[in-house]
Structure 1
Amino acid sequence: MTTKSTLLALALIIVFAFAKNETAEYPKIEKGMIKMTIFYPNGEDVTFDMDYYINNHMAMAANLMGDDLKAMMIDKGLSGGAPDSPSPYVAVGYFYFESMEAFQNAMGPIGDKLRADVPNYTNIQPVIQFSEVQTAQ
């Protein structure tokens, strides 16, 4: 893979964006929002069913979180920074909320249900990070 094609692949990493982003019903991502990022590290013997993740797990999460969830996106890892290197993450999921309180309201009653579904699509132990959005779209 050439450097040019590697850069193109990196530019195309975001492959799925749910309709919850920038519609009349849901506001766009704005500075100050809280973003929960779920990283699925790549490695030896990892399994990940992207179809199930998109169509079942993330769809269920969006439905259960209701109006507290403002936007949601999924990245599918394609490659690392060096030519022909594997992606450091198989997938990365993003949930956007107005505040930590909104996240807690959304996740509190459903967290156990979502965690119980993880073995249905992966054997990876996800890594979670909370961030405050610093730039708006």
Structure 2
Amino acid sequence: MKSGIILSLFLITSCLAAFGQEAQPRKVKKQDAAVAEKGLVKVSIMYPFAEGKTFDMEYYETKHMPMVAKYLGSNLVRYTIEKGLASGIPNQPLPYMAIGTFYVKNLNEYQSAIAPNRDAIRADFVNYTNITPVILVSEVVR
């Protein structure tokens, strides 16, 4: 058991070192604590990497995500935008080019806000990507 834990820690440290990061605990900021609030609904919009696919991060950050955020109104707690850098396994392809995440208070309110705007949201895809996103709706449990 002890050797398994040591091996796991070694592998994690090795992976972090391979990507130029040190294995140090991260300080939790107040804004991070708010996002981790138990019970929030997390909507992750993931854009898988594939040869020939494109993604305009500037447009996504300055136009698309703010547009969708406005539709969500006061139900929206926060949203984040992530740019994929590497796979978690060295020498493997990047799994996602980007991930956008909305943290909302209520799933029904989210769906009610998105439904009448779905066509506008989808029509905007061509302005920043040729990727069909994968969407995961989940509940923050911790």
* TM-score under structure 2 length normalisation: 0.75
- 1:91-125 CA-to-partner distances (Å, cap 9, x unmatched) read 01101111211212321222221111011100001
More helix per residue: 1 or 2?
Answer: 2
* TM-score under structure 1 length normalisation: 0.78
> How many equivalent residue pairs?
120
Moved over 3 A (4+): none
Q: Is the 8 A contact 2:69 2:76 kept in 1?
A: yes
- 1:6-44 CA-to-partner distances (Å, cap 9, x unmatched) read 1629x9xxxxxxxxx94xxxx922111111111100011
User: 1:100 maps to what in 2?
Assistant: 107
Mapped partners of 1:31, 1:100: distance in 2: 14
Structure 2 gaps, min length 5: 1-13, 25-29
1:33 partner letter: L
User: 2:139 maps to what in 1?
Assistant: 132
User: 1:28 maps to what in 2?
Assistant: 34
Is 1:69 the counterpart of 2:69? The answer is no
Structure 1 gaps, min length 5: 12-20
Mapped partners of 2:88, 2:136: distance in 1: 22
Percent identical pairs in the alignment equals 43
Cα deviation for residue 61 of structure 1 reads 1.1
Mapped partners of 1:90, 1:40: distance in 2: 6
